[in-house]
Amino acid sequence: MTKKIRLALVGLGDMGSGHLYGFDRIPDCEITWVADPHESNRSRALGFLKNNKPQVCRTHEELLAHADDYDAVVISVPNYLHRDVALPFIALGKPLFLEKPVAPKLSACDEIMKAAEEKGVPVQIGLVYRYSNVYRRMEKELKQGRLGDVTMMWCKEFRDPFPPADWFYDEELSGGALVEKDCHHFDIFNWMIGAKPVRVFASGGQHVIRKGEDVLVTNSYTHYPAKTINTSSIVDHAWVTVDYDNGSKAMLGLCMYLKPYNLTDEGLEIGLIGSNGAQMIAKRDKSLDISGGEDLTREHIDLDVVSDSSDGGHTGSQTQRYAFLNTVRTGEKPFADLNVGRDALLIALAAERSIKEERYIYLDELK
């Protein structure tokens, strides 16, 4: 019988609770420790458990003293804490699952990468779409030549606000809305286009959630109660264009103030146009529509959106957990590794900077 992989989880907020729930349902792992400074988070999250009875502590520093009790670590803390939490576990040689983005600043990202490389520690980033049945099918269709070369992409990320926790709304702590939220979608652009992003231009600002104005913020998926926010330093809307070295272009539209959330039929929409004149559109993380090209073909594909998630959770969420356990067991390079995470972060940081400086930002400027 294969020995179970022992996990420690740091952070039991929205994402950490999801990981606790998902890993608890996987028979070949055991959750031995959890850490979170907030008693309310601990008691709520532990109530999701059915198969594990981990020991509990408040901080990752306390967890370091019990390194013999776990084989790998899942880190789901606010972005500004990623570096400080990740580095000690890397120093211990523990494989990490680190939620996206790698860090809110490139310098912290590079510190994590340097430490992991020197220690030979695998780090998987929580870019969950890379493990989704929908987007893996999209990649498969592209590899089969359905669109020729991908020449244009777009993403309509129109949604409700972030959870009403203060750090989301502080650019210094979260990195900004485009870093915290859209590193996911910039990664999809990179993945599907398969070329090097060269420059970014973005325009954005604050329409509804404005600094200095009281706004009652609600969120459709969080456990945090509604809260008035009046100190936001992040944008609540943006348009971002990305130019690639092969001539391809991508554009993302972000809106962070829909109420109660996106109720349109398409929901999150990600689309591609190919050099053969065909287009492919993913809607609501559930389906693909492919049309045009050499003939009048139109194909609608409904995807399996159950097997890659946990009880209807985020697309790809459970597949990424199985993939992490495989990396821990075999040492295999994660599909969403630190290099992938850094490439997505670069576009997001360039977009945030472009809004401030009102100009194109060349990615080489950030490196």
Residue 241's CATH number: 3.30.360.10
Q: Give the pLDDT of residue 167.
A: 98
Q: How confident is the model at residue 125 (pLDDT cuts 50, 70, 90)?
A: very high
Q: Determine, yes or no, domain membership for 327.
A: no
Residue 181 CA: distances (Å) to CA of 51, 272, 326: 32, 20, 27
Are 32 and 159 within one domain? Answer: no
Q: Tell me the pLDDT tens digit for each residue of 288-338.
A: 999 999 877 899 999 999 999 988 789 999 999 999 999 999 999 999 999
Per DSSP, the three-state class of 244 is strand
Number of domains, the chain: 2
Kindly state the average pLDDT of the residues 345-355: 98
Domain end point (choices 128, 156, 182): 128
Are 108 and 158 within one domain? Answer: no
Domain end point (choices 128, 158, 182): 128
Q: Give the pLDDT of residue 294.
A: 84
Q: Determine, yes or no, domain membership for 330.
A: no
The two beta strands, 249-255 and 150-158, are parallel
Q: How confident is the model at residue 243 (pLDDT cuts 50, 70, 90)?
A: very high
The two beta strands, 287-291 and 279-283, are antiparallel
Q: Determine, yes or no, domain membership for 317.
A: no
Are 178 and 235 within one domain? Answer: yes
Q: Give the pLDDT of residue 32.
A: 98
pTM score of the predicted model: 0.97
Are 44 and 123 within one domain? Answer: yes
Assess whether pLDDT exceeds 70 at residue 165: yes
Assess whether pLDDT exceeds 90 at residue 38: yes
By the 8 A CB rule, do 182 and 124 touch? no
Q: Give the pLDDT of residue 367.
A: 79
Domain end point (choices 75, 95, 128): 128
What are 342's two structure tokens?
Answer: 């850094």
Q: Which residue has the tokens 């990396």?
A: 327
Q: Determine, yes or no, domain membership for 329.
A: no
Q: Tell me the pLDDT tens digit for each residue of 67-81.
A: 999 999 999 999 999
Kindly state the average pLDDT of the residues 20-27: 97
Assess whether pLDDT exceeds 90 at residue 257: yes
Kindly state the average pLDDT of the residues 200-216: 98
Instruction: Give the Cα separation of 156 and 266 in Å (integer).
Output: 9
Q: Give the pLDDT of residue 118.
A: 98
Range of 354's domain?
Answer: 132-305+336-365
Residue 264 CA: distances (Å) to CA of 4, 114, 157, 252, 274: 43, 43, 12, 17, 26
Assess whether pLDDT exceeds 90 at residue 139: yes
Q: Give the pLDDT of residue 112.
A: 98
Are 176 and 260 within one domain? Answer: yes
Average pLDDT of every residue of the chain: 97
Residue 40 CA: distances (Å) to CA of 34, 48, 58, 228: 14, 13, 12, 20
Q: Tell me the pLDDT tens digit for each residue of 70-124.
A: 999 999 999 999 999 999 999 999 999 999 999 999 999 999 999 999 999 999 9
Q: Give the pLDDT of residue 1.
A: 53
